[in-house]
Amino acid sequence: MEQVAGFIKKGCRWPTLVFALVFLVMGFCGTGVCSEYSRSDYQQFQHAIIDHRNRLNNNFKKIVRKTTRYIIVHTSELGLSTTLRVVSRGKQFASGHTTPGGHAHYVIARNGGTYRILDKQFRADHAGLSMWQGRQNISSVSIGIELVGYHSAPLTDRQYRSVALLIGILQKVYNLDDTAVLTHSQIAFGRPNPWFPKDHRGRKRCAKNFDRSRAGLGPTLASDPDVKTGRLLPDPYLAELFYGKQPVVAQVAATAPVSNLISKDNTAWSIAGGDYNSQTTSYVLPGGRILSGDQITETIGWHLLPVNTKVLLNQEVATKKPDAPGIPVKVITDRMTAWSHAGPAYRFDSTIYFLPSGTIFPGSRIADWDDLPKNTQLIVGYRGPFIITGERTAYGIAGQKYKDPGTVYFLPPGQVKTGDTITDFSNLPKGTRVYLPLDDIG
């Protein structure tokens, strides 16, 4: 009722007062949009925030932000543990250059868990080269929120709930309306490059999959203010995504996974944006060779990247070879998540996960890649299992390909091998499972 008292003291007319009362009854949080969450929801959320500030790099210089005009939503392009380390401790580049951390105020895990990285009063270095409504250096006037995940894959319901609560709180603290909430892809801009002769949008694809409606937000501005005034050239893809006649970001883009593989229509630019030539963007060629973005021009050329080259963002240093050529078994690490290995196929029945405990799951039973422990192994594009028995041998299952490197065996209690690494097929443990590539199934 304090808000109502304020209206009365200001001599508010009755229609406005009634409007304010309706907002209060419905859970108004100071943004101009009614909230579906109760006061109790907000209190429980605030109490559940995990304080991660003691992990901040000691070299990070805390600078009090003079004003707060925006809330910027990012996708981390990494799993949870690596996201927390990078935003707190800093980035490490192949050149030896490092950053002092402080790259976000908050991180929201895929299970909805929320981490406070830096007190909201300080400036976080999260937006980089950025512009909105003619103002540059958006990091100095904004709060940065990292959503663990990838811009080409859907975010989770739990993330949307947490980010809605967090944004509601921040909007009330800083008196911000919904148009002040933007994605990194909306505000980042790039300098001239082979695709654009002038400064342009499109440097980041970060959080292009963010569905505002699922976060309880109204629409963004009807057009890009810096493109409209001619300060920046438009990125055709993002222009259609955010400001087209029927923006698709809240429907298709937010729910349908997009491949991180190079194809005729899915170029390095459409996947990575302005990070296409960054040393922290890794290109995994079909044969297993790995090149960083700053090596492509002199080694292959951007228009000659082979189809099915995998694009990995935010790799900090040169990516270690994820898989030896011809070896189908992939391993989950801090940096190589299920999405990094399999892309949208991470949740397919044909992607099989072998957990360190010996448990086996198809992708359709994996709720999320952050639930998977390190050293989980996976194979992509397989059918099975076919169980070896006294009457059914490896040869009887796989034919002449039973010894092939593409034929995968699970030997109880938890050993994953390929056909070319098994020397004695006559003494395989009882219950050995065989997995065959989909291409080999008639």
What does pTM read for this prediction?
A: 0.82
Q: Higher confidence at residue 91 or residue 142?
A: 142
Mean pLDDT (the chain, rounded): 86
For residue 35, what pLDDT is reported? 65
Domain count, the chain: 4
Same domain, 310 and 332: no
Sign of CA dihedral 132, 135, 136, 138: negative
Least confidently predicted of 26-35, 73-82, 375-384: 26-35
Report the length, in residues, of the chain.
442
Q: What is the pLDDT of residues 363-386, one digit of tens each?
A: 999 888 888 898 999 999 999 999
- ∠ CA 267-272-277, nearest 5°, is 90
Residue % of the chain over a pLDDT of 70 = 86
Same domain, 12 and 140: no
For residue 278, what pLDDT is reported? 86
Same domain, 243 and 350: no
Same domain, 382 and 437: yes
Q: What is the dihedral of CA 319, 153, 330, 115, to 10 degrees?
A: 70
Domain hosting 412: range is 324-442
Instruction: Provide CB contacts within 8 A for 36, sequence distance 6+.
Output: 27, 216
Same domain, 396 and 366: yes
Q: What is the pLDDT of residues 256-311, one digit of tens each?
A: 567 888 988 888 888 888 889 988 898 989 888 889 898 999 898 888 899 999 89
Closest to 313 in 3D by CA, of 152, 426, 197: 152
Q: What is the pLDDT of residues 151-185, one digit of tens each?
A: 988 899 999 999 999 999 999 999 999 999 999 99
In this structure, what token pair is assigned to residue 427?
A: 């003494």
Same domain, 94 and 216: yes
Q: What is the CATH number of the domain that holds 174?
A: 3.40.80.10
For residue 327, what pLDDT is reported? 62
